[in-house]
Amino acid sequence: VAKPEHVNFGLAIDLQKPDGSRQLVVPSIKKSDEMDFNEFWSGYEDLVRKARNNKLGVPDFQGTTISLTNPGGIGTVHSVPRLMPGQGTILGVGAMEYPAEFQGASQDTLSELGISKVMTLTSTYDHRIIQGAQSGEFLRRIHQLLLGEDGFYDEIFNSLRIPYEPVRWVQDIHVNKATQLDKTTRVQELIHAYRVRGHLMADTNPLDHEQRKHPDLDVLEHGLTLWDLDREFPTGGFGGKQVMKLRDVLGVLRDTYCRTVGIEYMHIQSPEEREWIQSHVEREHEKLDRDEQLHILHRLNSAEAFETFLQTKYVGQKRFSLEGGESLIPLLDGVISKAAKAELDEAVIGMAHRGRLNVL
């Protein structure tokens, strides 16, 4: 029996021909066993792109050891695929849907009951090299990983440079209202924790990537779970809304306190001042309109053109380049423009060396 050196992961891709007929091709991602998730994702996207553009070659189809077909993409719940010659196993992935008895329920009911989507996964294997028990153990292992065992999602988050911990899979927490805090109170505790400790998870180190976490900011520490993410809770006006899903609450909290600016203000004694800060920073992300984006691009282009002029016209001259501080340009532009609209008479800049010629 020949044992392949690497796992060459075949991917079944459904292509539609110009005449309307369909063709199934199964190229493979080579040496997928040596890849982290980001590398695998890039290989996956590259393979699909080559297939869609009719750029696949013979080497793309050679050496496949295990393959995956995804009839779930067209809504099939269950499918048992057949093996291709030379391959040991093929996985069939069904559609990810709510159980049939709950498909007529509203989204609010599903969230309140904690009903999860389910997915059928089949393994068709060559009995000459794989035993039934091995296939069963393999499917059980996939089940365990999809629930997050052995740091599965931690590795994916780290590979994709997602700066937060994944929300762990745990059983839903039943609240006995007679003896325990209501979950609405727990959400308020979580909001307060981010206001006090959120700056500790801010991305303030430009030289290194790290997964940022703090026990006070973990939803599990507040008696909340992933089952609560799509449940709505009263928020008392947080984010400008009276009721929000916990998922959206977390999004606003992380965008406000845990991005590239750390905000620490809860030590301020005046409630009015604290509320003023909250009203200005605790907002859902607002995407700039096209005109504003083009304006920022124009300012950055002007700054870059000036840098290019200096380094070609005055070669070897000592100066403090803007390079690495480009975000200063749109920031100053925004601040000074708003100051002008507010009819302020004067702006005084305590300028750092970096980029001072460009700013002037």
Catalytic machinery residues: 127
Q: For 288, which DSSP code?
A: P
What's the rounded Cα separation, in Å, for the pair 323 and 303? Answer: 10
- Is-contact 326 300, C-beta < 8 A? yes
**The tokens 């499917």 sit on which residue?**
139
What's the rounded Cα separation, in Å, for the pair 298 and 80? Answer: 56
| Residue of 215, 209, 184 whose CA lies nearest to 197 | 215
Helix (H) or strand (E) holding 28: strand 28-29
HSE value, Cβ hemisphere, 13 Å, CA-based, for 256: 26
- Is-contact 227 114, C-beta < 8 A? yes
- β-strand partners of 207: none
Strand ranges inside the chain, DSSP E:
9-11, 13-16, 22-25, 28-29, 66-69, 89-93, 121-125, 232-234, 243-245
What's the rounded Cα separation, in Å, for the pair 248 and 231? Answer: 10
- Is-contact 1 65, C-beta < 8 A? no
CA angle, 167 then 169 then 174, to 5°: 105
**The tokens 């507040």 sit on which residue?**
222
What's the burial of 341, exposed, middle or buried (CB within 10 Å: 0-12/13-18/19+)? exposed
Q: Are strands 89-93 and 121-125 parallel, antiparallel or unpaired?
A: antiparallel
Helix, strand or coil for residue 95? coil
The encoded tokens of residue 97 equal 């849907």
Strand ranges inside 105-259, DSSP E:
121-125, 232-234, 243-245
What's the rounded Cα separation, in Å, for the pair 333 and 100? Answer: 56
